[in-house]
Amino acid sequence: MTQRERFNHLYESGKRSTRQAIILFALITGISVILMMIGERRLAEFIWFLLVFPSVGLVKIGARTNTLLRFNQSAEYKRLVRLEWWTAFGLIGAYVVLILTLLLNPELISVTVVATGTYGIGIIASSRLDQRLGKVDPEHVTHKVYARGKVGYFNS
């Protein structure tokens, strides 16, 4: 499968997962608004901040991972794709720790610093994994190629 065909599959998968994420976002936001209206402000904050980003992130990264796993049967490629998923999962976990710390104990700045540092390391690791995937499979659609493809890179 060529890089352009892979891009098209990823793009369609991304559109589907975006629709799912929007529905999930609306559902969680609706629940939070109802809780705010009945006076459960703190619970509404917890639900919104702890569920919106993680659930939307998991929907998006899950769709990308499932699509990428269909492109190449190489054990190395599949291992790196799964490792990228676990890295994203770890980033979401760091976000949850960060938000919990800020909501429950804003004075615990050290935990916030550690969670933020972990987040930075995870972003770098994800980028490196994406580059390694490009070396293992020359037709791999990296994040950079995907971003360019969305603005017409493959139309020329």
Report the C-alpha dihedral over residues 37, 40, 42, 45, rounded to 10 degrees.
-40
- For residue 59, the model assigns a pLDDT of 94
CA–chain centroid gap for 30, Å, is 22
CB atoms within 10 A of CB 122: 19
For the chain, what's the residue count? 156
Helix, strand, or coil here: 14? helix
Q: Rounded mean pLDDT of the chain?
A: 88
- For residue 34, the model assigns a pLDDT of 95
The answer to whether residue 152 scores a pLDDT higher than 80 is no
Pick the residue with more confidence: 138 or 116?
138
Note whether 102 and 89 are within 8 A (CB): no
